[in-house]
């Protein structure tokens, strides 16, 4: 078991805790007795979650509203964590865009800020502190999309390739330090993700068995973290997608996925 033991002065940091996988991660850690620091932009949602988890499990949940797409917002968040012992960092916030490359340059740039820069900034701030304590765990939410070329979803897939590679590289680099790093690489998970990405069609295109719930994804992630695993891929379809993305030649995948992603909007 590699997860740090819950302690009164330590916190599990979760970005993207206002909905979906992040909210479910918060519940999963709270059930195990961990105190939390919850990050997202929607403060009302974070406060409501903090109150619910406190009532149900007696844990303290600090609420840190922050826009991770904004450099000043990231800096304020990181500064506010200076005196906090972050025992586990779940770098999970993210979103996708679909459609022609650079159709919306501002939204695409925002996506890189949240999915890449914020993950990197927080890891840079927190991992050395964990290594000095010889204790800690990092969970990075990438995606099966990060293993494959994704025409019409190019910026998102590239951001998740960064997340996947960062997580697996840190897994190797941190071995023996007392700190672990695990990649959560989900396939389809029922959250607000499709709405935020304006991907309504995906709901009707994918059969029910392709989906896992946010709770299933979060539980698999926390169990994987505790077991010190490098990569957690929740669900059978996601596992097939994961293998297909890794081992099918890209010249074969590219035209297939261009059709798939081109038809989704």
For the CB of residue 261, give the shortest distance to ligand NAP in the complex, in Å.
14
H-helix or E-strand spanning residue 13? strand 10-15
Nearer to ligand NAP, 40 or 170 (CB): 40
* In the complex, minimum distance from the CB of residue 101 to ligand NAP, in angstroms, rounded to a whole number: 18
Nearer to ligand NAP, 51 or 128 (CB): 51
Please name the residues in contact with 239: beta carbons below 8 A apart, sequence gap of 6 or more: 187, 233
**Catalytic residue flag (residue 156):** yes
CA-CA-CA-CA torsion for 94, 169, 254, 195, nearest 10 degrees?
Answer: -10
Q: Which lies closer to ligand NAP via its Cβ, residue 19 or residue 180?
A: 19
Q: CA-based angle 248:254:255, to the nearest 5?
A: 120
- DSSP codes of every residue in 206-236: S-GGG-EEHHHHHHHHHHHHHTT-SEE--SH
Residue 83 CB, shortest distance to ligand NAP, in Å, is 22
Q: Find the shortest distance in angstroms from Cβ 93 to ligand NAP.
A: 4
DSSP 4: P
Q: Is the CB of residue 127 less than 8 Å from the CB of residue 179?
A: yes
Q: How far is CA 100 from the centre of its chain?
A: 24
In the complex, what is the shortest distance from the CB of residue 258 to ligand NAP, in angstroms, rounded to a whole number?
19
How far is CA 53 from its chain centroid? Answer: 20
Among 257, 262, 254, residue whose Cα is nearest residue 99? 262
Q: Which of 98, 156, 247, 261 is catalytic?
A: 156
Binding residues for ligand NAP (CB under 6 A): 16-22, 40-42, 66-69, 92-96, 114, 141, 143, 186, 188-189, 191-193, 196
Complex with ligand NAP: residue 4 or 186, whichever CB lies closer: 186
Q: Which two tokens stand for residue 121?
A: 């900034």
Active-site residue list: 156
């Amino acid at each position: 078991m590699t997860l740090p033991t819950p302690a009164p002065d330590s916190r599990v940091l979760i970005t993207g805790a206002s909905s979906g996988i992040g909210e479910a991660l918060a519940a999963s850690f709270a059930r195990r007795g961990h105190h939390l620091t919850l990050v997202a932009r929607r403060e009302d949602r974070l406060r409501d979650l903090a109150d619910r988890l406190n009532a149900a499990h007696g844990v303290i949940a600090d609420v840190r509203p922050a826009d991770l797409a904004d450099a000043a917002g990231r800096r304020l968040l990181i500064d506010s964590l200076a005196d906090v012992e972050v025992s586990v960092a779940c770098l999970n916030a993210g979103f996708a865009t679909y459609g022609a490359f650079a159709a919306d340059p501002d939204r695409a740039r925002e996506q890189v800020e949240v999915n890449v820069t914020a993950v990197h900034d927080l890891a840079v701030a927190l991992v050395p502190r964990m290594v000095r304590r010889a204790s800690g765990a990092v969970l990075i939410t990438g995606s099966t999309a990060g293993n494959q070329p994704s025409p019409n979803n190019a910026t998102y897939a590239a951001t998740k390739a960064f997340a996947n590679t960062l997580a697996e590289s840190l897994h190797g680099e941190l071995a023996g330090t007392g700190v672990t790093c695990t990649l959560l690489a989900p396939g389809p998970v029922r959250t607000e993700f499709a709405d935020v990405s304006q991907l309504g069609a995906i709901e009707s295109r994918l059969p029910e068995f392709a989906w896992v719930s946010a709770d299933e994804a979060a539980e698999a992630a926390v169990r994987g973290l505790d077991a010190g695993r490098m990569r957690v891929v929740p669900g059978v379809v996601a596992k097939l997608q994961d293998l297909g993305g890794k081992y099918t030649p890209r010249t074969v995948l590219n035209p297939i996925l261009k059709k798939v992603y081109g038809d989704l909007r």
